[in-house]
Structure 1
Amino acid sequence: MSIFLAIVFLSLSVGKSGGAIKPVVTFTPNWGNIIYYDNVTLTCDVPSTVPEEPRAYHWYKDRRPIHGVQQRLHIIKSSVVEDSGDYQCQTIGGDISDPVFLNVTETHVILQRPPSAIYEGDPLTLRCHHVRDFNAVNTKFYKDDQEIKSSESDSTFHIPNIAMSQSGLYKCTKKIQRIDRSKVQEHSDVSFISVKEKKLPVKLEVIAAAVIGSLVVIVISAVLIWKCKKRKCFSHPELHQATSTTEITNKPPENNTDPDPQDVCYTYLDISHLPKGNRIKHEDLTVTYATVKNTNI
């Protein structure tokens, strides 16, 4: 009964807790790399199945506390290179998020990509971004040094369902118009896009059901084995005595031609009901052989 209660308690606790849920840091706009003077908003998302209660937040950069920020949003205005780093957030009494890297560079053109991992089947948007307060035209995208798109006004390249075969080295170029109105071709840094294989997520409820099912099978098997052993114990005592029967015959056999016939007195030992594994010591049994003289000749 105690084992059954333990199983019930385990199922209830797993169903309620659902495992530890970490908050997640997201960027708006959703780019992991920006140019200096760009603005970006960091959000601490806390997945929950209940209505959100008032929370206090802690923010960290490179594992050091960011003082004075206790809100769900952390806004960076007119970013500088020193804003680059790993960002994490945490609610009071909760888990800390995984680090998400923000890269701020001093350059004129960059190829922007989402900060999260890219899996096959996901949509992917790349952006050829240039420094603020400059005009730019003639955007081109390249994969493994092969041009894949060219546009005078569109600065994005979109793949609706990316495949693993589309992994490779990506970059972009733009013509930047300087203050003196001259235009210069600017190249972004090369970015390696790695498309990972998508694996079906295993829900915690499925794992819990499998564990509970295994425990139930083990308990039922243990109970059946125990009952089986108990039944054998009652039907076959440890020291089971062998039964013996003695039969004496003194009637001469028919058509007996033996001048001195003899009948044999024998003892029959019935050991068919002894439990397996119980041995009978030879000194516990005495076998007697006897002969009887038949006088009725």
Structure 2
Amino acid sequence: MNRCATDATRFESNCSMYEIKPIQIIRGAIKPVVTFTPNWGNVIYKDSVILTCDVPSTVPEESQIYHWYKDKRPIPGDQQRLFTIRSSVEEDSGDYQCQIIGGDISDPVFLNVTRNVVILQRPPSAIYEGDPLTLRCHHAKRFNAINPKFYKDDQEIQSSKYYSELDIHNITMSQSGLYKCTKEFQRKDSPNVIEHSDVSVISVKDNELPVIAAAVIGSLVVIVVSAVLIWKCKTRKRFSHQDPHQAIPTAEIVNMPPVNNTDPDLQDVCYAYLDISQLSKGKRIKHEDLTVTYATVNNANI
């Protein structure tokens, strides 16, 4: 009696042979992230800023070789994980990126250096609904200033004598708008002068939970790939019972009854069902890895 013999990587019948290649995990290059300390995307002339090249925790902590870029051009000199601008000038404005040997280059993060005496500082990253947000009414160090006030769409929303930050603990999309601030500058021989910052557009984005969605899609990919490993047999021979000693612990072969069809090529179909629950812990696929998983079927010998 003919039978479809199986082993760990091959499925064979008297009419055809399919070779299933092992599942492969494709990982993207390591992509760092540039962050600012303090975490403001705009500063005043002569302010100091520390840029940090944050590498994912999966990378070993041993010494790495870092490369820094401004406006896509390499920054010369001995470069470390921290890049410090001690006294900023307008020429320091631009897009900053970093990279480690063997890794991908980070997304650009923009730093703006201005000579204005008052600015409304905001984080450089995008703002999503539900995030905390802090805005700072900042003035040049050479002046004395008091009474910071914050405005949204030209309406005053907060005032204080000395506290220069506006804290929003759980921002909503309805709080998007045009923000600015003012400060009162003290002078010895003349009345105080009120200076205002430029207007900053705060756009709150809808939080669509992209990471969770990607994890769900990754799970569906594994299920679909396991379910579609189907091949066609040209005869109506059924599988005989497999030798228990040759059974595959992670795969089950099921022979379906012939379909009522006049085409002899479509009357017997063999289905493969892969059970990945028996894989060892080290080989299981973690959803949070967000990696791409695929399997191929080689039917060149049909």
Q: Does TM, scored on the shorter chain, surpass 0.5? A: yes
Return the letter of the residue paired with 2:125. Answer: S
Residue 276 of structure 1 corresponds to which residue in structure 2?
262
**What are the equivalent positions in structure 2 for 1:122-133 lying under 5 Å apart?**
122-133=131-142
Residue 186 of structure 2 corresponds to which residue in structure 1?
177
**What are the equivalent positions in structure 2 for 1:1-297 lying under 5 Å apart?**
1-2=9-10, 5-6=20-21, 8-10=22-24, 13-14=25-26, 17=27, 19-178=28-187, 180=189, 182-202=191-211, 206-219=216-229, 222-223=230-231, 226-227=232-233, 229-231=234-236, 276-277=262-263
**C-alpha distance in 1 between matches for 2:78 and 2:41:** 21
Return the letter of the residue paired with 1:202. Answer: V
Return the letter of the residue paired with 1:9. Answer: I
State the Cα distance separating 1:182 from its structure 2 match.
4.5
Instruction: Compare 69-78 and 121-130 and name the one that shifted more.
Output: 69-78
2:228 match: secondary structure? helix
Residue 273 of structure 2 corresponds to which residue in structure 1?
none
State the Cα distance separating 1:164 from its structure 2 match.
0.2
Scaled by the length of structure 1, the TM-score of the pair is: 0.71
Alpha carbons of structure 1 residues 177 and 208: separation in structure 2 relative to 1, 3 Å: same
Tell whether the 8 Å contact from 1:59 to 1:69 is kept in structure 2 after alignment: no
Residue 242 of structure 1 corresponds to which residue in structure 2?
none
1:134 match: secondary structure? coil
Gaps of 5+ in 1: 234-273, 279-297
Tell whether the 8 Å contact from 2:150 to 2:180 is kept in structure 1 after alignment: yes
Return the letter of the residue paired with 1:193. Answer: I
Superposed CA RMSD in Å reads 2.3
User: RCO greater where, 1 or 2, for CA within 8 Å and sep 6 or more?
Assistant: 2
Residue 14 of structure 2 corresponds to which residue in structure 1?
none
**C-alpha distance in 2 between matches for 1:217 and 1:137:** 68
Residue 236 of structure 1 corresponds to which residue in structure 2?
none
Which has the higher Rg, Structure 1 or Structure 2?
1
Gaps of 5+ in 2: 1-8, 11-17, 239-259, 265-302
Residue 286 of structure 1 corresponds to which residue in structure 2?
none
Return the letter of the residue paired with 1:231. Answer: R
**C-alpha distance in 2 between matches for 1:83 and 1:277:** 73
Judging by fraction of residues, say which structure has more helix.
1
**C-alpha distance in 2 between matches for 1:205 and 1:171:** 39
Deviation string 1:86-115 (CA, Å, 9 cap, x unpaired) is: 000011121100110000000110000000
Deviation string 1:216-265 (CA, Å, 9 cap, x unpaired) is: 1111xx24xx24x52179xxxxxxxxxxxxxxxxxxxxxxxxxxxxxxxx
Identity of aligned residues (%): 65
Tell whether the 8 Å contact from 2:137 to 2:148 is kept in structure 1 after alignment: yes
**C-alpha distance in 2 between matches for 1:134 and 1:101:** 27
Return the letter of the residue paired with 2:262. Answer: K
Tell whether the 8 Å contact from 2:29 to 2:102 is kept in structure 1 after alignment: no
**C-alpha distance in 1 between matches for 2:190 and 2:91:** 31
Alpha carbons of structure 1 residues 275 and 66: separation in structure 2 relative to 1, 3 Å: closer
- Report the number of matched residues: 227
